[in-house]
Copies of this chain bind each other. A is one copy, B any other.
Amino acid sequence: MVSPTLTRPRGDRTRQAILEEALQLATVVGLHGLTIGTLATRMEISKSGLFAHFGSKEALQQAVIETGVAHFMARVIRPALLLPSGVAAVRALFDGWIHWSSEEMAGGCLFITAAVEFDDRPGAVRDQLVELHHQWLEVVGGAAVRARASGAFRADLDEAQFAHDFHAILLGFNQARRLVNDPDAKTKAERAFQRLLRDASVSSP
């Protein structure tokens, strides 16, 4: 009996290795700054050899995003959604995102970087990013709905607004950490999150 990773064709393995490296690199330099030449050098492979795996740069960018999504689903979304409590899921989404973006991705959140790069660049990549953003807000909003149904959150809570505010806190954290290197970025994000939770919870007099 052999490990399935060994029976898998060689090309698939190198393609996956390329995407793993490309994902980390893209978090630093962006999807547009991600260049086939430097990626090939980093992988110690020829430019044309790497190129053949994707056929176009746009296809590479899409594949990188999908790789990032797979990571994000496995490390942030799925563990959170497994939790029975809605409040615990919200908490896990927050903690998971902070940890994932600051500890597992070399240059922070790829999706935020890519969103800024492509918000004025129509095409398949942009469409993909928009779709991902909607899905992400739905995941957060869905957890809020569960928390509301369980009685932990206010009955009149607007889950779309909650998800929007939740996401904005993450944007603030990302910028505080990446641009100004604020050592208190995590603390500030945590305080903002607690304020959001307090407002969403049923009032405790």
Binding site for B on A (CB under 8 A): 28-30, 32-33, 107-108, 112-113, 115-120, 126, 129-130, 133-134, 158, 160-161, 164-165, 167-169, 171-173, 175-176, 178-180, 188, 191-192, 195, 199
Contacts and interface: CB of A to CB of B under 8 A. Distances in A.
B116 A180 contact: no
A135 B188 CA distance: 18
A168 B172 contact: yes
A156 to B, nearest CB: 13
Contact of A133 (B169, B179, B195): B179
A179 B30 contact: no
A203 B187 CA distance: 24
Interface of A is mostly: helix
A118 B171 CA distance: 16
A168 B190 CA distance: 13
Contacts of A107: 119-120
User: Most chain-B Cβ atoms within 10 A of its Cβ — which of A32, A129, A179, A192?
Assistant: A179
B115 A179 contact: yes
A116 B175 CA distance: 8
A130 to B, nearest CB: 5
Contacts of A32: 33
Contacts of A113: 116
A119 B169 contact: no
A167 B134 CA distance: 22
